[in-house]
Structure 1
Amino acid sequence: MKLALITDAWHPQVNGVVTTLHELVQALGPLGVDVSVVHPGLFKNRSCPGYAGIDLAVRPYKSLAAMLDALQPDAVHIATEGPLGWAARKHCLKMGWPFTTAFHTKFPEILKAALRVPLFLGYGLFRYFHGPSSGVMVPTQGVLDMLKSRGFKSLKPWTHGVDLSLFAHHAKPLDIPELEDLPRPFSLFVGRVSYEKNIDAFLDLKLSGTKIVCGVGPLEAQLKARYPDVLWMGVLPRQHLARVYAAADVFVFPSRNETFGLVMLEAMACGTPVAAYPVDGPLQVLGDGKGHAVGGVLSEDLHTAVLQSLLVDRIEARLRAENFGWPKTVELFVSNLVSVRIGS
């Protein structure tokens, strides 16, 4: 199968969508799926206003259409709702090609936080974007239910996976040289330092030990000035990041607007328990379906969640993460694809 994967989020961007798509592409090869990734680096691009580190293609339609016509894919998957996503949508509709899409990020919430765009306008635009899709892949049941209540159609579950070999289990927090002189416990945040991450809720907590932040984003300079006692490590190579996850005593996930939260799984795979709010993303990653969390603690009192997470056995976190390996995830993705050739 020849798959055209259209995404506005790709390397050198560093975020959960890029990680998910990169690992998806790696896992599809052994299944006989030949993936052509169409990303902003193939076009004239510029930085997204107000969101440093995110490059967007500029007027990509003609070039993208030519690429897709030359490729003649068997299936088209549009992963994002940016300029490339809109251009691919337009061409598929013009050609009469069925296609699938994905809802990776709650951009309406980001637009509200950054630009004060009302949620009903943001979701109205996204409902229009996904309307012609033959399958809107959604990472959790909670997000699927939310989108259904907002009038989205053709919703299909597609949970995400974690690289269980890269993020190896450690029965005790790992000692690494760059953290050896800092007081424990280590409370870790990994992600974009941006509006939608609610990172202030973590940084404002009165905790003993050391707070560590791995990531960059538009709020980075402002928050570094406000919180000088935090260790700001920036963006780390994946192997190095895995060691930092393993060194942490607790992973703090303060966001209330996630569709999934892959970083929680990466931390848990290393044995590091998670403290989070009981909202979409954490509820699905840590929830066991019986009303309590596994591999961490969910609470509206994030401070309490952090303290209680320090008591969670690290093997519990690892075993929960093992429910999200890539083989099942990839098979579900392939089963959701549709042929561009109607009736085949």
Structure 2
Amino acid sequence: MRKITIVSDAWYPQVNGVVRSLQNTCCHLERMGLEVTMVTPETFHSIPCPTYPEIRLSVATYWQVARAIEASTPDAVHIATEGPLGLLARRWCLKNRVSFSTSYHTRFPEYVAARFPVPIRCVQAFVRWFHNAGNGCMVATASLERELSKLGLRNLRRWSRGIDQGVFYPRPMAHLPFGLPRPIFLTVGRIAPEKNLPAFLDLDLPGSKVVVGDGPARAELQQRYPDVLFTGIKTGTELAEAYAQADVFVFPSRTDTFGNTILEALASGVPVAAYPVTGPIDIIEPQSRAGVLREDLREACIAALDCSREDARALARSFTWEAATRQFLDNVRRAAMAKSPRRIGASGA
């Protein structure tokens, strides 16, 4: 196998875990000598997603997507998202009897049902229909695999995540990071309803709270919580330096399927406080001194102040993009070999 085409509705300029995961995976696949083609909204006209304008929805025809895939002459196709491009790529693969793999990055049924008047069971049925047509659906954790299996998804395969240790690592701590008194309780991510940020921002905690990121709920939350520092989006070294100045990283989401920001915080030597839900429970072990998982998030935050920055860093070292990318490549190969598709070439209507 030399060529892989990845179709994703999530791509730059979006800043989220899906985009970062795909970007890091592409980089490591290319280092392994593979040729990767991305079919993303960059190539097509797009419109803002209703209720979430930061996300662009591609307005593409079947033939446009078909030509983009065929031009890449792939040995394997991976469909990363269930959006407009993913749907058209799925149709092309099925029409041409081309094996493909998919991945489940976000709690699609919960997110759609929270934003639109659609029964969640209908969206769950759509997710089964979408992913079960492929020859392997990649999930990040064991707990998510169990959840999706109960929903009727088949051929679930593990694809973990990694962390760039060359970017995220402990740095000298400023006496007054962000110009605020310690301890610093930091969270990073998309500022949107599904991230459950008020669960963190409402807590009575010592020191200061900092939110790094942007999203549709930022203006409202910034007005509701004037004592919280909202920094906006940070990337690269600037983001890594923000992590390293925190005393505790708080992850209030109950709906994420993994939590890449948890790894970024741990690699920066920052203990984690979170709920005991999918994502955190797959990273932070019960007796770990790298973080605290509790149903009482305030208790978790306070207890995390006594956790070990060295243990946090050590835990992060067990997550590498090299290992995660090899998982991804093995899953793609297995999916491609699951049946003998017709030669990739002429597309169907």
TM-score (norm 1): 0.95
Out of 49-58 and 96-105, give the one that drifted further.
49-58
Amino acid of the structure 1 residue aligned with 2:36: V
Q: Render the CA deviation track for 1:83-107: whole Å, top value 9, x for unaligned.
A: 0110100000111100000001002
Q: Render the CA deviation track for 1:305-339: whole Å, top value 9, x for unaligned.
A: 00000111101001111111111111111000133
1:342–1:151 distance in 2 versus 1, CA, 3 Å: closer
| Counterpart check, 1:86 vs 2:99 | no
Deviation at 1:116, TM superposition (A): 4.9
Secondary structure in 1 aligned to 2:281?
A: helix
Deviation at 1:55, TM superposition (A): 0.8
Quick one: distance in 2 between partners of 1:178 and 1:271?
A: 15
Secondary structure in 2 aligned to 1:3?
A: strand
Amino acid of the structure 2 residue aligned with 1:339: A
Give the corresponding residue for 1:223.
Answer: 221
Equivalent residues in 2 for 1:318-337, closer than 5 Å: 318-337=313-332
Quick one: distance in 1 between partners of 2:54 and 2:289?
A: 34
Q: Render the CA deviation track for 1:283-316: whole Å, top value 9, x for unaligned.
A: 00112xxx43441000000000000001111010
1:76–1:177 distance in 2 versus 1, CA, 3 Å: farther
1:240–1:176 distance in 2 versus 1, CA, 3 Å: farther
1:244–1:60 distance in 2 versus 1, CA, 3 Å: farther
In the alignment, structure 2 segments of 5+ residues that lack a partner are 342-349
Match 2:308 to one of 286, 304, 313: 313
Q: Render the CA deviation track for 1:48-106: whole Å, top value 9, x for unaligned.
A: 11112111101342211011122210000001111011010000011110000000100
Is the CA contact 1:114–1:195 (under 8 Å) kept in the aligned structure 2? no
Give the corresponding residue for 1:204.
Answer: 202
Is the CA contact 2:177–2:245 (under 8 Å) kept in the aligned structure 1? no
| Counterpart check, 1:56 vs 2:54 | no
Equivalent residues in 2 for 1:1-344, closer than 5 Å: 1-170=2-171, 174-175=173-174, 179=178, 181-287=179-285, 291-337=286-332, 338-339=335-336, 342-343=339-340
Amino acid of the structure 2 residue aligned with 1:215: G
Quick one: distance in 2 between partners of 1:260 and 1:301?
A: 20
Quick one: distance in 1 between partners of 2:321 and 2:195?
A: 25
Q: Render the CA deviation track for 1:258-280: whole Å, top value 9, x for unaligned.
A: 11000000000000000000000
Q: Render the CA deviation track for 1:103-127: whole Å, top value 9, x for unaligned.
A: 0100211123223533222211111
Deviation at 1:4, TM superposition (A): 0.4
Quick one: distance in 1 between partners of 2:338 and 2:266?
A: 41
1:243–1:176 distance in 2 versus 1, CA, 3 Å: farther
Identity of aligned residues (%): 43
Quick one: distance in 1 between partners of 2:221 and 2:30?
A: 41
Secondary structure in 1 aligned to 2:185?
A: strand
Out of 186-195 and 110-119, give the one that drifted further.
110-119
Is the CA contact 2:274–2:297 (under 8 Å) kept in the aligned structure 1? yes
Quick one: distance in 1 between partners of 2:151 and 2:338?
A: 30
Amino acid of the structure 1 residue aligned with 2:128: R
Q: Render the CA deviation track for 1:205-264: whole Å, top value 9, x for unaligned.
A: 011111111111111111111011110011112210000000000000001111100000
Quick one: distance in 2 between partners of 1:208 and 1:294?
A: 21
Give the corresponding residue for 2:346.
Answer: none
Report the number of matched residues. Answer: 338
Out of 111-120 and 229-238, give the one that drifted further.
111-120
Amino acid of the structure 2 residue aligned with 1:200: P
Give the corresponding residue for 2:344.
Answer: none
1:120–1:331 distance in 2 versus 1, CA, 3 Å: same
Amino acid of the structure 1 residue aligned with 2:37: S
1:6–1:226 distance in 2 versus 1, CA, 3 Å: same
1:130–1:229 distance in 2 versus 1, CA, 3 Å: same
Provide the aligned C-alpha RMSD in A.
1.6
Deviation at 1:177, TM superposition (A): 7.9
1:64–1:341 distance in 2 versus 1, CA, 3 Å: farther
TM-score (norm 2): 0.93
